[in-house]
Amino acid sequence: AVDAALLAGVLMRTGEQPHASDVVNYAPFTLLPSAVPRALFDQAYAVQQDFNLLVDAISQNKEFLEQTLASTIKVDDFTARLFRIYMQVLEEGLAQTVFLGINRSDYMCDCGQDGTAALRQIEINTIAASFGGLTSRTADVHRLVLKVLGKTEEASHLLPNNPAKGLASGIAKAWELYGSQRAVVMFLVEEVQRNIFDQRCVENELWNRNIRVIRKRFRDVFERGSLDGSRRLYMDGQEVAVVYYREGYVPQNYDQQNWEARLLLERSRAVKCPDIATQLAGTKKVQQELSRPGTLEELLPGRPEAVARIRATFAGLYSLDEGEEGDRIAATAIADPDRFVLKPQREGGGNNLYGEELRQVLEKIKDSPERTSYILMDKIKPQPALNYLLRAHSPLQASECISELGIFGVYVRQGQELVLNQAAGHLLRTKAIEHADGGVAAGVAVLDTPYLV
């Protein structure tokens, strides 16, 4: 299985040599595909275009973003800084006319008392949603494993899946509408790029279409990026049509210079994927406000069916804003912490609080404004299944695992006209049940392939 993964290009740089591609290893993955109920899988695909519309609508709704994030930005400095850039860019007036969204909506199958499973959204990632590249190659690995096990029939049921291609088609569309043959696509990447091969899968799809790609860090932009009189973005003398962020979603990504670089990019005419408004649309606070009765209807007027499909995926979400409503749910969670997850406004895994820790933190902040920087969510309880998690240098053992399904969405808008709106493929990540939190990059979850049942 490991050889097959290496052969297929399911790769990551190593922790020891995170800056070099001389010695690399396989990205962690499951030995076997995991069962996913077909009806829920289809449901997740069917709602993706609705989520694309919703995120795009939120990103254009200043009043909603302002109101929703008002309490959060008083206490959460990171969201506040993003918000300040957002306001600054709006005040100056947008130079950008083409908009590109790449997101991934993540779900777990919640197992009810009666044994039936329901699709429940965990979150939607509107910036730097990763693993669309590597997951385009994992199905081949699992197909081979099943064949070796004599499961040829089962192997033939594994679905084709190529998010890398879908994401690249969105980037290519945005590049084309930007309208300059000479202009390049810039991947904005982190200082440490262990997951570079995932990005290369998307990058190669663009080279295949004869679109030039450059990879730069905020630091490079600060030092050598510039805008011309009509706010066209230049990097080392090359015009940039699209900026695809694989960076910039956590406070640690920013120092003062990086914030300045971010502002420069946002002010530019280049297509940002995502623009700052769309990044804000992906905050946990926005997710929680969407679950309030009436909010979806306001954001998507005249689309009752889309609203119904979206709402059907929501778990219980609760505001911890100051006031009676927040007091009440905080008290409920302190009394019964295992029913909930406590989430700050952070991305990238490992930030949420559960169980006893949730109780202690909430106890401490329940009467302070800090409470407002969190939201509460019902805990989803998927049915565990046995699998082997293959990870370099770790012993092989069967573990009780749970899975999280992600659907990639991509859309392009030119002015007010949506010219592309698609589901672009899926990602299944699986982890041992003893880990409450954390993704593949965080070293907790591993890549998997859905086996529909």
Residues contributing to the annotated binding site: 104, 123, 125, 127-130, 193-195, 199, 246-249, 284, 343-352, 354, 377-380, 404, 429, 431, 437, 440-441
Q: Which is nearer to ligand ADP, 202 or 380 (CB)?
A: 380
| In the complex, minimum distance from the CB of residue 98 to ligand ADP, in angstroms, rounded to a whole number | 27
Supply the DSSP symbol for 94: -
Identify the bridge partners of residue 448 per DSSP, sorted by sequence position.
Answer: 428
Specify the residue for token string 């890398």.
164
Residue with tokens 């920087």: 373
What residue numbers does the annotated binding site for Mg(2+) cover? Answer: 123, 125, 347
In terms of Cα–Cα distance, which of 12, 347, 25 is closest to 193?
A: 12
Whether the link from the prior residue into 274 is cis, omega within 30° of 0, is: yes
* Closer CB to ligand ADP, 200 or 346, in the complex: 346
List of E strands, 76-116: 98-111
Query: Closest separation between CB of residue 276 and ligand ADP, Å?
Result: 18
Q: Report the greatest alpha carbon distance in the chain.
A: 65
Q: Which is nearer to ligand ADP, 76 or 123 (CB)?
A: 123
Amino acid (1-letter code) at residue 180: S
Shortest Å distance, C-beta 213 to ligand ADP = 26
Between 425 and 439, name the residue whose CB sits nearer to ligand ADP: 439
What are the catalytic residues? 104, 123, 125, 130, 284, 343, 347-348, 429
The angle formed by the CA atoms of residues 195, 197 and 200, to the nearest 5 degrees, is 120
Rounded to a whole number of angstroms, the minimum distance from the CB of residue 360 to ligand ADP is 18
> Residues forming the annotated binding site for substrate?
104, 127-130, 193-195, 199, 246-249, 429, 440-441
The CA distance from 430 to 441, in Å, is 12
Pick 216 or 426: Cβ nearer ligand ADP: 426
What's the closest the beta carbon of residue 306 comes to ligand ADP, in angstroms? 23
Q: Which residues contact 409 (CB under 8 A, 6 or more apart)?
A: 48, 49, 51, 52, 55, 101, 102, 103, 104, 105, 422, 423, 424
Q: How far is the CB of 8 from ligand ADP (least distance, A)?
A: 24
140 vs 448, which CB is nearer to ligand ADP?
A: 448
Residues flagged as binding site for ATP: 123, 284, 343-352, 354, 377-380, 404, 431, 437
Q: Count Cβ atoms within 10 A of the Cβ of residue 160 and give its class: 0-12 exposed, 13-18 middle, 19 or more buried.
A: exposed
How far CA 334 is from CA of 285, 327, 453, in Å, comes to 20, 11, 38
The CA-atom distances, in angstroms, between 20 and each of 17, 23, 25, 216, 247 are 6, 7, 11, 16, 19
Q: How far is the CB of 319 from ligand ADP (least distance, A)?
A: 15
Phi, psi of 166 (to 5 degrees): -65, -45
Alpha-carbon span 73 to 81, nearest angstrom: 8
Binding interface with ligand ADP (CB under 6 A):
106, 122-123, 315, 341, 343, 346-349, 351-352, 377-380, 404, 437, 439
Question: Beta partners for 240?
Answer: 184, 233
Choice between 225 and 337, CB closer to ligand ADP = 337
